[in-house]
Amino acid sequence: MPERCRVILCGFDPMLVRGYVKTGERALWFYLPDELYQDYKPMPGDKIVGKLLAIYDGDGNKVEEPSLDVEWPTTKETGYAVLIPASVIVKYKLTAFHFIEFEIQKIKKLKGYIEKELEISEDVAETAEVGVKEKVKEPVYEEVEVYPGEVKQRKWWPDDKMKLKFKLAFVPPA
């Protein structure tokens, strides 16, 4: 069963997020509940599998209820922070002045890589010769269910603290 949490998004100001979204760099993230981090010890490269349940603006208003199944990576420095993909940032116009409700269902722990050979086909060949085999490394994960048979809710941003005095609006990428 899952761990439910309501967290504030962390990241850069909306103008930097605008640039990072275009370049694919990290722009926004959130931190896992401390107890879950200690119990499961997610590492860089692991993925957090769950459901994005709700999005709140900096005034504490629920602005979206996407019920979106997601698989988001942890940062390359630590398994404690979870990256929000650029597509989600743009679709829901997220900033570091938003809160999300999230249900963590599984952790996909990176166990290593297997090497595979892929044949280059006509539709992807730009500089390589068609029919040439290219070696690629594919990640291998072990799925670990979070708190089987239980529902936890320990990191929950209080309603009265979701009204921020200072907020900046989303700036879409150009």
Q: Rounded distance, CA 39 to CA 141, Å? A: 18
Q: Parallel, antiparallel, or unpaired for β 99-119 and 68-73?
A: unpaired
Q: What is the pLDDT of residue 15?
A: 87
Q: What is the pLDDT of residue 14?
A: 87
Q: What is the pLDDT of residue 23?
A: 85
pTM for the full model? 0.86
For the chain, residues with pLDDT lower than 70 are 1, 121-131
69 falls within a domain: yes
Q: What is the pLDDT of residue 134?
A: 79
**Count of CB atoms within 10 A of residue 172's CB?**
12
Q: What is the pLDDT of residue 45?
A: 92
Range of the domain at 47: 3-111+142-161
76 falls within a domain: yes
The domain total for the chain is 1
- For 130-150, how does the pLDDT look when each residue is reduced to its tens digit (9 = 90+)? 667 778 899 999 999 999 999
Residue-level length of the chain: 174
* CA Rg value for the chain: 19
Q: Tell me if 145 sits within 8 A of 106, measured CB to CB.
A: yes
Residues 6+ apart with CB under 8 A from 172: 18, 90, 93
CA dihedral over 110, 112, 115, 116, signed as positive or negative: negative
Q: What is the pLDDT of residue 38?
A: 97
